[in-house]
């Protein structure tokens, strides 16, 4: 009876070398892709921002963005600490009283050259959400500056600041008596209802806390910080 040979044919050495080189090239291109993914993501977003701002990445209101940018730098004395009203993981928030009489809050992201990774996704999500949202209980985004050496978001200024800051002091907590707290809760509820039911597609905040609720001079609540929001 004839014997059946089950030995597999050996892969030629040249084919082994070819497979190894292919694997190395794949890993190399994958590494390069990871390395430049953030730059490409920012480039794509900058194109979108160009379209929204009519070609000017210094887009603030309907005025010349660069003039307003210079006004902000002058109003904050090149972002001096005495105008600092808040610090965050990826930047700082300043109060700026512009020459036009407007008072705004300026969120300045840390520059890339300082070795701190700027949260580009947070920056883009904030713009995407707040350019779609218009509600009295959601903070207004007046404009932005998108540049590798300077990334700014310009908001309406809330005189009373964060709800967390008010509640953390005995005086502030006493001032925020029960009827005023109910007013704050209703304002937040109205904003969430608008985000979830009036927007298409709906917007989910995903990071709502007393640190992200601002109060104006009338103790009217505004939801802020849409950096982790999702459509």
Question: Which residues form the catalytic set?
Answer: 207
Tokens 């160009």 belong to 50
Residue 186: CB partners within 8 Å, gap ≥ 6? none
Q: CA 219 to CA 180: how far, in whole Å?
A: 7
Residue 225: CB partners within 8 Å, gap ≥ 6? 126, 207, 211, 212
Q: CA 153 to CA 165: how far, in whole Å?
A: 22
Tokens 């640190």 belong to 211
Nearest to 163 by CA among 225, 88, 213: 213
CA 57 to chain centre: 16
Q: CA 40 to CA 45: how far, in whole Å?
A: 9
């Amino acid at each position: 009876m004839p014997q059946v040979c089950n030995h597999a044919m050996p892969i030629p050495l040249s084919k082994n070398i070819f497979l190894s080189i292919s694997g190395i090239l794949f890993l190399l291109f994958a590494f390069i892709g990871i390395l430049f993914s953030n730059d490409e993501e920012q480039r794509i977003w900058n194109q979108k921002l160009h379209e929204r701002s009519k070609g000017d990445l210094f887009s603030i209101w309907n005025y010349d963005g660069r003039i307003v940018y210079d006004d902000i730098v002058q109003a904050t004395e090149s972002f001096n600490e005495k105008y600092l009203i808040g610090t965050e993981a990826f930047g700082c928030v300043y109060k700026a009283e512009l020459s036009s009489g407007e008072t705004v809050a300026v969120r300045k992201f840390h520059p890339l050259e300082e070795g701190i990774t700027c949260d580009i996704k947070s920056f883009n999500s904030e713009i995407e959400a707040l350019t779609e949202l218009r509600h009295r209980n959601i903070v207004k985004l007046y404009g932005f500056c998108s540049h590798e050496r300077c990334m700014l978001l310009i908001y309406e200024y809330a005189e009373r600041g964060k709800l967390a800051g008010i509640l953390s002091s005995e005086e502030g907590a006493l001032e925020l008596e029960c009827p005023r707290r109910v007013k704050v809760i209703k304002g937040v509820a109205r904003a969430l209802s608008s985000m979830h039911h009036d927007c298409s597609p709906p917007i989910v905040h995903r990071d709502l806390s007393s640190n992200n609720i601002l109060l104006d001079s009338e103790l009217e609540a505004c939801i802020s910080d849409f950096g982790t929001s999702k459509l």
